[in-house]
């Protein structure tokens, strides 16, 4: 066992460590701290819960003790994949940095930009951030990374799972090439190996334990149930909590929506539980996590966002409500218990649908957990329940009085009551042109056509194909009133809205006739220039405008 006093730390740092109650260093701390104090790059491979945070926090505090921070130019940078892990690192600096004139700032999402910018303007020695928020501040021009002397990457494999590798590569390129890099990961997939070869300079590889192995202080248990029904899984979970002496525990689910459903079910049955996952706002997540840390919350239902790096010393039980899709996640989940040499218990509920994922977990950990049988439950009597949807945990009613309710409160008839669609439905419906014509006639009603005595369209009989018009008419047809003769002047007056100008009385000896005279009855006229004009005037017939009417001269005889 290695004491902290043998690692070369300063008296001020050793005093802060002693105040926390720790005297003996873990294997990763004993090997990483002396190398980091020399300014060399470190590639640390260790399972979760082995003390990696103190392995880079303590030497960083000692190395930064001599120096002064500058505005917007931090001297050290710590990158963490999740907000919770970044917050935990800041708590470590607060705990181990007592007595040191060092400042630090936490840059995570869900917190006001303004407060973070004020700290950056004053200048900080250590910047602890998630990749997204760090780059946001850089793009706003509030941060420069050219003065970074030490850079720490924590839980690098988790960053790979969350898609942060492109952001991480960009951050590496924004920092000076000559800097000390402390790189920690529980596993070393090919992408992480490529990253270390690209950005680390001859790192000292420190492997405290075999990658992806579980701690010996954790008792692992497996519970098989014969059905995949969610209600049966929740029943099995409550039975395990009731039979075990659970001081506090974390329940892990694969999906965020399932986290909300399980937490609600546990609270419904009288158990103190609360959810935590990435869709909750930052204030709620931090408040829930703090309640679990101080013991006021007994059960924490979490997604994998809480599986990595959270340092909660006294977690007695971990329950895997779902078998994880990735075998590595199982190691990180159960690593929340059995920390710092304390014992813990882990349970995993397995259904017939989990056989493939279970095989991957067993192959990775290299051991078979102890199998537990829950007796006294008739699994066949548990009926299916509606499963939570993917859009935030709201269950949709698939039966009962609420079935078929549409948006806006409108009720749809059940499918069996709705009329079936027939291919010839277009033949049964009234033809589209008829409906269009009706609307057209209604629009034209005020116009002159209706005033001319035509009957409205709806009063006229419909034309039937193949039937004469006489046969399609009704038996008794009302007599149509005779259409009055109308002059062109009358129609123009009606259209213009001005009264028709009255015609002057006819001259003596001349009689107006409503009937157009036959050509043979017309008097013979002299074909001269004046008569040509008269012919054009007479050509208007009975519709001659009043102001153009003249008295016709008496006919000339040949004797004259």
The two beta strands, 344-350 and 299-302, are unpaired
Question: What pLDDT, on the 0 to 100 scale, is given for residue 339?
Answer: 77
The packing angle between helices 165-174 and 190-199, to 10°, is 0
Q: How many CB atoms lie within 10 A of CB 157?
A: 22
pLDDT of residue 483: 56
Residue 217 near residue 341, CB atoms below 8 Å: yes
* 77 Cβ contact partners less than 8 Å away, ≥ 6 residues apart: 126, 127, 129, 134, 145, 148, 150, 151, 152, 171, 175
Domains and CATH numbers, the chain: 2-207 (3.40.50.300), 218-376 (3.40.50.300)
- The H or E element spanning position 70 is none
Its sign, for the CA torsion 123, 127, 130, 132, is: positive
Residue the block writes with tokens 């986290």: 259
551/326 Cα distance (integer angstroms): 112
SS3 354: helix
Q: Which residues contact 473 (CB under 8 A, 6 or more apart)?
A: 461
At 204, which helix (H) or strand (E)?
strand 204-207
pLDDT of residue 55: 93
What pLDDT does residue 313 have? 72
Rounded to whole angstroms, the Cα distance separating 164 from 144 reads 20
Separation of alpha carbons 424 and 403, rounded Å? 30
- Tell me 299's DSSP state: E
- The per-residue pLDDT string of the chain (560 residues; one tens digit each, 9 = 90 and over) reads 788 989 999 999 999 999 888 888 888 999 999 999 999 999 998 766 678 889 999 999 999 988 787 888 999 999 999 888 898 899 899 889 887 888 999 999 888 899 899 999 988 999 999 999 999 999 999 999 999 999 999 989 889 888 899 999 999 999 999 999 999 988 788 999 999 999 999 999 998 765 567 778 899 999 999 998 999 999 999 999 998 888 899 999 999 899 999 999 999 999 999 999 888 888 888 899 889 988 899 999 998 865 565 677 789 999 999 999 888 888 888 888 887 678 899 999 999 999 999 999 999 888 889 998 888 787 777 755 444 443 333 333 333 333 333 333 333 444 444 444 434 334 444 444 444 444 444 444 444 444 444 544 544 445 544 444 444 444 455 555 555 555 555 555 555 555 555 555 555 544 444 455 455 445 444 444 444 444 444 455 556 666 666 565 665 554 44
pLDDT value, residue 366:
85
In this predicted structure, what is the pLDDT of residue 404?
37
Nearest to 174 by CA among 99, 294, 77: 77
Strand partners, 126: 76, 104
- Both tokens of 545, joined, read 């405008």
Tokens standing for 180?
Answer: 């000390």
143 near 134, Cβ under 8 Å?
Answer: yes
pLDDT at 489: 54
Q: How high is the pLDDT of residue 543?
A: 61
Burial (CB count <10 Å: 0-12, 13-18, 19+), residue 522: exposed
- pLDDT at res. 358: 93
267 contacts: CB under 8 Å, gap ≥ 6 = 273
Comparing CA positions, the residue from 101, 96, 93, 92 lying closest to residue 18 is 96
Instruction: Tell me the pairing of strands 104-107 and 126-129.
Output: parallel
User: CB under 8 Å to 405, separation ≥6 — which residues?
Assistant: 411, 412
Question: How many CA atoms does the CB half-sphere of 165 hold within 13 Å?
Answer: 16
Distance in angstroms (rounded) separating the CA atoms of residues 114 and 285: 21
Q: Are 315 and 297 in contact (CB under 8 A)?
A: no
Look at the block and give the residue holding tokens 């509030």. Answer: 142
């Amino acid at each position: 066992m290695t004491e902290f006093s043998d690692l070369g730390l300063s008296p001020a740092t050793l005093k802060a460590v002693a105040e926390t109650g720790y005297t003996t260093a873990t294997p990763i701390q004993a090997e990483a701290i002396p190398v980091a104090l020399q300014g060399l790059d470190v590639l640390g491979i260790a399972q979760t819960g082995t003390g990696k945070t103190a392995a880079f926090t303590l030497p960083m505090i000692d190395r930064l003790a001599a120096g002064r921070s500058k505005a917007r130019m931090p001297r050290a940078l710590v990158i963490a994949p999740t907000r919770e892990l970044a917050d935990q690192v800041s708590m470590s600096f607060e705990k181990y940095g007592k007595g040191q004139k060092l400042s630090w700032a936490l840059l995570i999402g869900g917190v006001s930009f303004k407060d973070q910018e004020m700290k950056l303007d004053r200048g900080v020695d250590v910047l602890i951030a998630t990749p997204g928020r760090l780059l946001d501040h850089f793009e706003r021009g509030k941060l420069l990374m050219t003065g970074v002397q030490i850079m720490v990457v924590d839980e690098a494999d988790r960053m790979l799972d969350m898609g942060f590798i492109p952001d991480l590569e960009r951050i590496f390129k924004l920092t000076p090439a000559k800097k000390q890099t402390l790189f920690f990961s529980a596993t070393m997939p090919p992408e992480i190996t490529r990253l270390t070869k690209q950005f680390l300079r001859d790192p000292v590889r420190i492997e405290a334990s075999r990658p992806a192995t579980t701690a010996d202080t954790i008792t692992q248990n497996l519970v098989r149930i014969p059905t995949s029904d969610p209600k049966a899984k929740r029943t099995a979970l409550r039975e395990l909590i009731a039979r075990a002496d659970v001081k506090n525990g974390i329940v892990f689910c694969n999906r965020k929506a399932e986290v909300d459903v399980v937490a609600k079910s546990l609270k419904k049955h009288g158990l103190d539980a609360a959810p935590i996952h990435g869709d909750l706002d930052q204030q709620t997540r931090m408040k829930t996590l703090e309640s679990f840390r101080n013991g006021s919350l007994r059960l924490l239902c979490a997604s994998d966002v809480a599986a990595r790096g959270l340092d909660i010393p006294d977690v007695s039980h971990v329950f895997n409500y779902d078998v994880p899709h990735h075998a590595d996640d199982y190691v990180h989940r159960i690593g929340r218990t059995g920390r710092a040499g304390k014992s813990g218990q882990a349970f995993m509920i397995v259904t017939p649908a989990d056989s493939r994922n279970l095989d991957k977990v067993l192959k990775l950990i290299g051991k078979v957990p102890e199998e537990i049988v829950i007796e006294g439950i008739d699994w066949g009597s548990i009926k299916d329940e509606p499963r939570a949807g993917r859009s935030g945990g709201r269950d949709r009613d698939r039966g009962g009085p609420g079935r078929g309710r549409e948006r806006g409160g409108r009720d749809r008839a059940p499918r069996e009551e709705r009329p079936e669609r027939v291919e010839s439905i277009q033949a049964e419906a009234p033809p589209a042109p008829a409906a269009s014509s009706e609307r057209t006639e209604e629009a034209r009603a005020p116009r002159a056509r209706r005033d001319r005595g035509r009957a409205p369209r709806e009063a006229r009989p419909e034309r039937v194909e193949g039937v004469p018009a006489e046969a399609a008419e009704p038996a008794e047809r009302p007599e149509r009133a005779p259409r009055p003769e109308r002059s062109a002047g009358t129609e123009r007056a009606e259209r213009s809205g001005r009264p028709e100008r009255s015609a002057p009385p006819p001259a003596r000896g001349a009689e107006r006739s409503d009937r157009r005279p036959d050509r043979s009855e017309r008097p013979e006229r002299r074909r001269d220039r004046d008569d040509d004009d008269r012919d054009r005037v007479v050509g208007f017939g009975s519709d001659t405008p009043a102001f153009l009417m003249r008295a016709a001269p008496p006919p000339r005889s040949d004797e004259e």
